[in-house]
């Protein structure tokens, strides 16, 4: 068939047709490639600037340079928080062939804990493959030496030097200074992400947290050439590094000087000797806190360095709650320590006068009520006036006058001393305590019967029991107000902030709070005199402590019930769990004539305010006034 058709082919017209088609095709080709060329001109000439900028933005990454955290000093310039170089163990995910195997082998030589392995696996999966995961924040020299030998067996594991926060005094100042910990997701929501881009740790509690903005400093930044996966390109590809914008160095954080005296802090912490409790000492004329101790405490370095899961669980589950700051967050029944303040309320409201004597028979009964409100001294104190009632801590006297003062006036006077409201301490993190009133009860109970205020509750409140709660910090502030005869200053722990670069100091000025107004100075003398006799009087509850002291002091003991004791049941310590024993409280100031230090403390389940708590208060005052063991 092909052979038949071929002769009749018109070769010439076919060539002409083909030529015309090729010409058309050539034109179309030129047009198509012309479009591409036009596009290239558009991209490379017209929009060149735009794309050049985008290309630059692609490859240049701004890496933050974290600032060096400011230091924390005590009032005498001793370091409480510093930054030390430490070696940390890191894992670079992309360099490790078998993560499970590597982690298991690290656990086998005790560099990490088995139960942390899942966490590290998750961390090495979640981030960029080239970004190191920290396995251990601080290696001991022994661990470094040990690992150095085995290093060839661990591809992708290495130790790197980093600055790590260090607290040389450990637990002694833990609750005052606070600690830094690794930035959490919650922290990152609260903080400026730009300023914290290069920072690994932030203040979690205490001064570290409250003065975070001063301590942190300003982050700098530097420009890096990175590839599409964000990995820094080694500097030897020098041509790519041209025309980078200038870097900015970081500015160190401010140094913070505390009013805390490390010596007092140490003495107080040691005085608790493993018992649970808290102590706050302050300068009554400025509000400067000289010591703030909560015992037992913990080693804050654990947080800065990073804990293993088991270490953290141990701290969390410790029944003594070492992480709990009892000094500002612990709310306790203040017990008899409020008696001096209530005495002023009683005089001012006319519920009693300076000379009236009542007979104390060891118990008190409300009219028409069989219930006996007992005195701590079962046989009674006999005839006592207000002075004696403070000196000997007679409960019955206060039971009796409480009816005439009334709960609302009691609330009013205690409120003037700052009880029941937060002191506003600069480190924050405090409990407001509680001073009950009719209104409070109405607002805080749902049941109609519970909303009523009962006379019996007023009686209980007069000895700092019942609903009433106060923190050691509040009590310290209140005893400070007694010492100054009514002048009050907001308690604060930071005395000065020093610029990290210029060393310029900003001194924190005392903040005066509204005075406690008492109509006649004689009343102050009367009540403070009674407090003086608590320590130095012939029948003072804490005369054993005040005896033979080289200076005069004033104080008031308190013993607060943890559980209420049923009627007519003999108080038997042996039967009570140790943790149900009474709390021992004490407030004091010294010297009596020229007060320079005010102290409040509690020893949980310490049973006797005058016997257990008062000696600790005295040891602090001794040290501060220069009569301590170390004093010359």
List residues binding other proteins (CB under 8 A): 1-3, 5-6, 8-10, 14, 17-19, 21-22, 25-26, 29-30, 32-33, 35-37, 39-41, 43-45, 47-48, 50-52, 54-56, 58-59, 225-229, 233, 237, 239-240
Name the residue nearer to other proteins (CB basis): 1 or 566: 1
Pairwise CA distance, residues 297 & 320, whole Å = 9
CB atoms within 10 A of CB 443: 9
Which residue out of 336, 393, 462, 608 is catalytically annotated? 336
* Shortest separation between residue 115's beta carbon and other proteins, angstroms: 37
CB atoms within 10 A of CB 486: 17
How remote is the C-alpha of 441 from its chain's centroid?
A: 31
For residues 619, 624, 629, 632, the Cα torsion angle rounded to the nearest 10 degrees is -160
DSSP state at residue 258: E
CA distances from 344 to 482, 523, 559 (A): 10, 7, 20
Name the residue nearer to other proteins (CB basis): 51 or 571: 51
Q: Where does residue 415 rank: exposed (0-12), middle (13-18), buried (19+ CB within 10 A)?
A: middle
* Shortest separation between residue 94's beta carbon and other proteins, angstroms: 15
Pairwise CA distance, residues 69 & 79, whole Å = 13
Pairwise CA distance, residues 72 & 341, whole Å = 36
User: In angstroms, how far apart are the furthest CA atoms of the chain?
Assistant: 151
Contact 292, 598 (CB under 8 A): no
Name the residue nearer to other proteins (CB basis): 56 or 421: 56
* Shortest separation between residue 228's beta carbon and other proteins, angstroms: 4
Token output for 114: 């088995």
Which residues 6+ apart lie within 8 Å of 475 measured at CB? 280, 334, 337, 419, 585, 587, 600
Pairwise CA distance, residues 202 & 233, whole Å = 30
Pairwise CA distance, residues 564 & 125, whole Å = 56
Name the residue nearer to other proteins (CB basis): 4 or 186: 4
Name the residue nearer to other proteins (CB basis): 77 or 234: 234
* Shortest separation between residue 53's beta carbon and other proteins, angstroms: 8
* Shortest separation between residue 6's beta carbon and other proteins, angstroms: 5
Pairwise CA distance, residues 466 & 315, whole Å = 31
Name the residue nearer to other proteins (CB basis): 43 or 563: 43
* Shortest separation between residue 158's beta carbon and other proteins, angstroms: 25
* Shortest separation between residue 58's beta carbon and other proteins, angstroms: 5
* Shortest separation between residue 44's beta carbon and other proteins, angstroms: 4
Residue 220, phi then psi, degrees to nearest 5: -100, -175
Name the residue nearer to other proteins (CB basis): 17 or 109: 17
Pairwise CA distance, residues 336 & 530, whole Å = 13
Pairwise CA distance, residues 358 & 551, whole Å = 32
Token output for 22: 């090729």
* Shortest separation between residue 234's beta carbon and other proteins, angstroms: 12
Question: What's the angle, vertex CA 244, arms to CA 238 and CA 249, rounded to 5?
Answer: 110
Name the residue nearer to other proteins (CB basis): 104 or 227: 227
For the chain, helix (H) and strand (E) counts, in that order, are 25, 22
**Residue of 420, 461, 471, 431 lying closest to 277 (CA atoms):** 471
* Shortest separation between residue 237's beta carbon and other proteins, angstroms: 7
**Residue of 376, 398, 410, 389 lying closest to 459 (CA atoms):** 398
Name the residue nearer to other proteins (CB basis): 12 or 503: 12
State the DSSP H helix or E strand holding residue 476, giving kind and residue range, or none if neither: helix 472-483
Does the annotation count 209 as an active-site position?
A: no
Name the residue nearer to other proteins (CB basis): 18 or 454: 18
Contact 204, 226 (CB under 8 A): no
Positions marked active-site: 336
């Amino acid at each position: 068939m092909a052979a038949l058709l071929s002769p009749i082919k018109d070769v010439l017209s076919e060539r002409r047709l083909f030529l015309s088609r090729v010409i058309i095709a050539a034109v179309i080709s030129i047009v198509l490639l012309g479009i591409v060329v036009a596009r290239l001109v558009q991209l490379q000439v017209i929009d060149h600037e735009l794309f050049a900028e985008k290309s630059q933005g692609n490859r240049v990454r701004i890496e933050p340079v974290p600032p060096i955290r400011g230091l924390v000093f005590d009032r005498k310039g001793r370091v409480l928080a510093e930054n030390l170089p430490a070696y940390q163990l890191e894992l670079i995910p992309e360099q490790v062939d078998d993560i499970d195997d590597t982690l298991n082998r690290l656990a086998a030589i005790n560099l990490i804990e088995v139960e942390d392995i899942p966490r590290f696996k998750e961390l090495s999966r979640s981030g960029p493959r080239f970004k190191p995961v920290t396995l251990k924040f601080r290696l001991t020299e022994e661990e470094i030496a040990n690992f150095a030998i085995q290093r060839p067996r661990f591809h992708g594991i290495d130790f790197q030097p980093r600055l790590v926060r260090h607290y040389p005094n450990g637990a002694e100042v833990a609750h005052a200074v606070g600690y830094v910990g690794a930035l959490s997701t919650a922290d990152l929501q609260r903080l400026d992400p730009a300023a914290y881009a290069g920072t690994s740790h932030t203040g979690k509690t205490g001064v570290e947290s409250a003065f975070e903005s001063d301590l942190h400093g300003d982050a700098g930044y530097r420009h890096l050439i990175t590839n599409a996966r964000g990995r820094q390109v080694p500097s030897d590809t020098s041509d790519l590094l041209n025309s980078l914008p200038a870097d900015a160095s970081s500015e160190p954080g401010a140094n913070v000087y505390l009013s805390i005296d490390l010596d007092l802090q140490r003495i107080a912490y040691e005085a608790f000797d493993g018992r649970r409790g808290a102590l706050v000492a302050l300068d009554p004329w400025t509000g400067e806190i000289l010591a703030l101790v909560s015992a037992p405490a913990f080693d804050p370095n654990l947080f800065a360095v990073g804990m293993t899961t088991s270490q953290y669980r141990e701290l969390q589950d410790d029944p003594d709650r070492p992480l709990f700051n009892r000094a500002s967050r612990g709310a306790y029944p203040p017990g008899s320590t409020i008696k001096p303040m209530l005495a002023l309320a009683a005089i001012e409201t006319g519920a009693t006068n300076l000379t009236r004597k009542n007979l104390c028979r060891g118990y008190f009964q409300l009219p028409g009520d069989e219930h006996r409100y007992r005195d701590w001294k079962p046989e009674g104190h006999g005839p006592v006036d207000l002075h004696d009632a403070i000196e000997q801590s007679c409960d019955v006297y206060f039971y009796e006058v409480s009816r005439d003062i009334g709960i609302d006036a009691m609330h009013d006077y205690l409120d003037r001393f700052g009880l029941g409201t937060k002191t506003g301490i600069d480190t924050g993190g405090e409990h407001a305590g509680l001073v009950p009133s009719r209104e409070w009860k109405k607002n805080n109970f749902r049941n109609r019967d519970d909303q009523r205020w009962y006379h019996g509750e007023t009686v209980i409140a007069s000895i700092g029991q019942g609903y009433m709660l106060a923190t050691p910090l509040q009590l310290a502030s209140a005893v400070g107000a007694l010492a100054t005869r009514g002048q009050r200053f907001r308690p604060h722990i930071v005395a000065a902030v020093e610029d990290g670069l210029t060393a310029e100091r900003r001194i924190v000025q005392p903040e005066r709070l509204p005075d406690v107004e008492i109509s006649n100075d004689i009343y102050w003398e009367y009540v403070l005199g009674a407090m003086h006799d608590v320590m130095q009087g012939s029948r003072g509850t804490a005369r054993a402590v005040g005896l033979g002291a080289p200076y005069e002091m004033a104080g008031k003991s308190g013993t607060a019930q943890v559980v209420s004791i049923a009627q007519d049941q003999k108080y038997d310590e042996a039967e009570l769990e140790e943790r149900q024993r009474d709390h021992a409280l004490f407030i004091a100031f010294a010297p009596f004539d020229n007060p320079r230090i005010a102290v409040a403390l509690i020893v949980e389940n310490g049973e006797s305010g005058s016997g257990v708590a008062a000696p600790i208060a005295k040891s602090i005052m001794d040290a501060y006034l220069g009569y301590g063991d170390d004093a010359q």
